[in-house]
Amino acid sequence: STRVRPRALPHVPLDDYELPQPTADGDALRAAVRGRAEHLGRQLRAHGVFARSITLRVRWADGRSDARTGALAQPSALDDPLAAAAIDLLGKLTRPERLVRAVSLTCPGLIAAQGDPALFAV
C-alpha cells in the first residue's frame, strides 16, 4: 500500500523592500506596502494557498525594526484585501516623526486552497 503524504505548504520568504531613502511620507509608505502586497498575492496564488493573517515588518532608519500582525476578514490570496490589511497595520505602526528604511510582508498560517485553479491565475 502507498502512503499518502499531505502536501507541505510553501514558505513565503521574508524579503525587505528597501526604500530609495528613509522616509516618513505616508503616500510613499502606502505605495511601498501596496507593492509588497501585490508581490505577496502573486506568490500566494502561484502556490495555490490563502493567507489568514498578514504581518507587516518595518525597519526604521536607525536599524531597529517593529512588526504587527493582523487577521484578514476571510482567508484570501487577492491583492486588495492583502493590501488593505497591510496598510491598516502601517497606520497603527508608523509615526510621522520616525523615518522608515524598509518594509516587508509575510503571511503566517497559510491554508491550502480548494477549488477552481482559475481563481489563482498569476
Say if residue 103's pLDDT is above 50. yes
Identify the pLDDT of residue 16: 82
For residue 118, the model assigns a pLDDT of: 45
CB-count burial class (<10 Å; 0-12, 13-18, 19+) for 117 = exposed
**Given this model, what pLDDT does residue 39 score?**
95
pLDDT tens digits along 61-91: 999 999 999 999 999 999 999 999 999 999 9
Taking the C-alpha atoms of residue 29 and residue 45, their distance in angstroms, rounded to an integer, is 24
- What is the second-level CATH architecture of the domain 17-113? 2-Layer Sandwich (3.30)
Asked if residue 65 lies in contact with residue 58, where contact means CB atoms within 8 angstroms, the answer is yes
What are the sequence ranges of the domains in the chain?
17-113
Reference 77, options 52, 103, 45; nearest CA is 45
The answer, yes or no, to whether residue 15 has pLDDT greater than 70, is no
| DSSP three-state, residue 84 | helix
Task: Say what the pLDDT of residue 113 is.
Answer: 76
pTM (2 d.p.): 0.82
Give the pLDDT score at 34: 97
Q: Which residues of 84-101 are buried (b: 16+ CB within 10 A; e: fewer)?
A: bbbbebbeebbeeeeebb
Give the residue with greater pLDDT, 16 vs 57.
Answer: 57
Cell of 105: 510582508
Reference 54, options 8, 97, 93, 98; nearest CA is 93
Please report how the helices 79-93 and 26-47 are oriented relative to each other, as an axis angle in degrees rounded to 10: 140
